[in-house]
Amino acid sequence: MSHPKYAVFTMDVEAFSHTECVRNAEYDADADLMDGFDAYIRILEDNGIKSTLFTVGTLAPKIADRLHRCMKNGHRLALHSYDHIAPMEQTPEVFRAQTRKAKQALSRQFNTPVVGYRAPCFSMDARRLEILRELGFHYDSSHLDFLPASHTVKLDLSSFRKLRDGIFRKDGFYEFGLAKQRLLGFDLPISGGGYVRLGKWDVMKGLIRRHIHTCDYYVFYLHPFELTMEAVPKIKGLKFYDRLYLHAGIKSYAGKIRQIIEMLRRNGFQFVTFEELTEILNRETSPQ
Ligand SMILES: [Zn+2]
C-alpha cells in the first residue's frame, strides 16, 4: 500500500511591525496589513483546507474576532512566540518564561489546547526545543536547515528519529521541517514565505513539483503582509533585498498558492493541520 502523503498549510500570524527588517524602522503608517490574513483564509476555505495558525501572543487579543471565526471553521491555533523576539536572542530562561506565559494566555483566551510552536526567524536550538517539550508542546516547526538570517542556527536533531523527509520524532515530540530543493548547487527553500513569492515562478514551480513527486510531506507558510491588497508602508534606508522582500510579488502570490494547492491535490496529498498530523503519526508509531 502506498504511503499517505500530507500537506500542511500554515501562517505565521504576525503584524507588519514584527517583520524582521521593519522592527527598528520608523514609518508613518499604522498598518497591520491583516487583510492578507483574510485573503489566505479565503484561499484555504475555497479549497476546503484547514490550517495551523502560528500566532504571536501579544497580537492575538487584537485580532481575536478573526481567530475565533477561524477556529469555529476548524483551523487550529499554535504559538509564534510571545512578542516575536527570536528565541536565540533570549536566554533559555527568558525564552521559557515568555513562552509559558504566551501559551497559557492563548489557550485560556481561545479555550483550546496550544501544542505547536514556530520560532520567529526559524531561530531554534536543541536546548530550547527541549524547553518546548517540557512546557507541554507536542511539536515545533522551525527546522529550515538553511541559514538565511543571523538568528538562525543549524538545529541539531541528531537525537531525533527521522520518520520521513522533514519529519522527526523524539519521546513523542515532533519537529516538522520546511522543505528545500537543490538547484545548481544551491539549496532553495520551497515552503512559501519570501522565497516562493520572490523566486522566478517557473523555477520555483518546477522545484515544488519535483518535491511533490519525490516526497510525501510538504508544508507551506507565509505572513499576512504577503497577501495584502493595501499599500505596504515605504521605509527609508532599507537594503535592496529587504525592499524587494517587502514589496515584490505580493499581488501575484494568491494565484501561485492556488496553483501549489492544485499540484498537491492532483498528486494525491491530503491536507491536514499539524495537530491532526501529530495524531496520525502517533497512531502509526504506537504499538497496538
Ligand atoms: Zn515571524
Higher pLDDT, 233 or 11: 11
The answer, yes or no, to whether residue 149 has pLDDT greater than 60, is no
Q: What is the pLDDT of residues 206-258, one digit of tens each?
A: 999 999 999 999 999 999 999 999 888 888 888 898 999 999 999 999 999 99
Q: Provide the residue range defining the domain that includes 204.
A: 5-285
CA 169 to ligand 1 centroid distance, Å: 24
User: Which residues keep their CB under 5 angstroms from ion ligand 1?
Assistant: 12, 14, 120
Is the CB of residue 7 less than 8 Å from the CB of residue 52?
Answer: no
More confident residue, 3 or 207: 207
Q: Tell me, what CATH number does 110's domain have?
A: 3.20.20.370
Question: What is the domain count for the chain?
Answer: 1
Interhelix angle 201-214/253-266, nearest 10 degrees: 20
Window from 27-31, 56-60, 173-177 with minimum mean pLDDT: 27-31
Percent of the chain's residues with pLDDT above 90: 78
What was the pLDDT predicted at 183?
A: 86
pLDDT band per the 50, 70, 90 thresholds, residue 154: confident
pLDDT of residue 288: 45
Q: Rounded to the nearest whole angstrom, what is the distance from the C-alpha of residue 5 to the centroid of ligand 1?
A: 27
From ligand 1's centre to the CA of 288, what distance in Å? 39
Average pLDDT over residues 69-79: 98
Q: Are strands 5-13 and 167-170 parallel, antiparallel or unpaired?
A: unpaired
pLDDT of res. 221:
97
Q: What is the mean pLDDT of residues 124-151?
A: 87
Give the residue, 156 or 115, on which the prediction is more confident.
115
SS3 220: strand
**Residues 38-58 pLDDT 10s:** 999 999 999 999 999 999 999
The pLDDT mean for the chain works out to 92
Checking if the pLDDT of 285 tops 80, the result is no
Q: What are phi and psi of 52, to 5 degrees?
A: -105, 125
**How far apart, in whole angstroms, are the C-alpha atoms of residue 72 and residue 67?**
9
Q: Which long-range contacts (CB under 8 A, 24 or more apart) does 230-234 make?
A: 230/31, 230/33, 230/35, 231/29, 231/31, 232/16, 232/31, 232/33, 233/16, 233/27, 233/28, 233/29, 233/31, 234/27
Q: What is the DSSP letter of 49?
A: -
Residue 156 has pLDDT above 80, yes or no: yes
How many A from CA of 81 to the centre of ligand 1? 8
Cα(54) to centroid of ligand 1, in Å? 9
Q: Report the DSSP beta bridge partners of residue 168.
A: 162, 175
Residue bearing the bigger pLDDT, 263 or 180: 263
